[in-house]
């Protein structure tokens, strides 16, 4: 698994790893049941500390995106959360994003355009 990390970014490395795994799953590059690289392997490939990868994996596990077994490793394991639970969590996260956009002067039309472009991009990847 090749990651593209930006060490000068304000986004912590563990979140960049988490985000890239999530994007790979959403884009169909990682499938449910697929094994993820071992923490040590991914840390070596990315040039980061093992604890950084471990933190990313633990976050993904808490979010129900992966499952981790100490003997067999980490696997893509989509959440068993109800649709209502996921929508409620996403609503809170999107509220912050929309609020930030509003404060920065981004219009509703620009937000809709961005959201539609992102959705279309996801459809094309599959």
What does the pLDDT look like over 9-27, one tens digit per residue?
Answer: 999 999 999 999 999 998 8
Q: State how far the alpha carbon of 45 is from the alpha carbons of 38, 49, 67, 76, in Å.
A: 11, 10, 21, 19
Q: State how far the alpha carbon of 121 is from the alpha carbons of 4, 12, 72, 89, in Å.
A: 19, 25, 33, 23
Whole-angstrom distance, CA of residue 17 vs CA of residue 60: 10
Domains of the chain: 13-76 (1.10.10.10), 83-125 (no CATH)
Average pLDDT, the chain: 92
pLDDT digits (tens, 9 = 90+) for 22-71: 999 988 899 999 999 999 999 999 999 999 999 999 999 998 899 999 99
Residue 36 DSSP SS3:
coil
Residue 57 DSSP SS3:
helix
């Amino acid at each position: 698994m090749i990651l593209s990390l930006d060490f000068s970014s304000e986004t912590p490395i563990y979140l960049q790893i988490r985000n890239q795994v999530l994007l790979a799953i959403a884009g169909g590059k990682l499938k449910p049941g697929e094994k993820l690289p071992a923490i040590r392997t991914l840390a070596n490939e990315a040039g980061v500390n093992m604890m950084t990868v471990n933190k990313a994996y633990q976050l993904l596990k808490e979010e129900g995106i992966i499952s981790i077994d100490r003997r067999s490793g980490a696997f893509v394991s989509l959440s068993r959360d109800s649709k209502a639970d996921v929508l409620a969590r996403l609503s809170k996260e999107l509220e912050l994003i929309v609020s930030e956009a509003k404060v920065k002067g981004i219009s509703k039309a620009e937000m809709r355009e961005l959201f539609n472009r992102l959705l279309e991009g996801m459809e094309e990847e599959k």
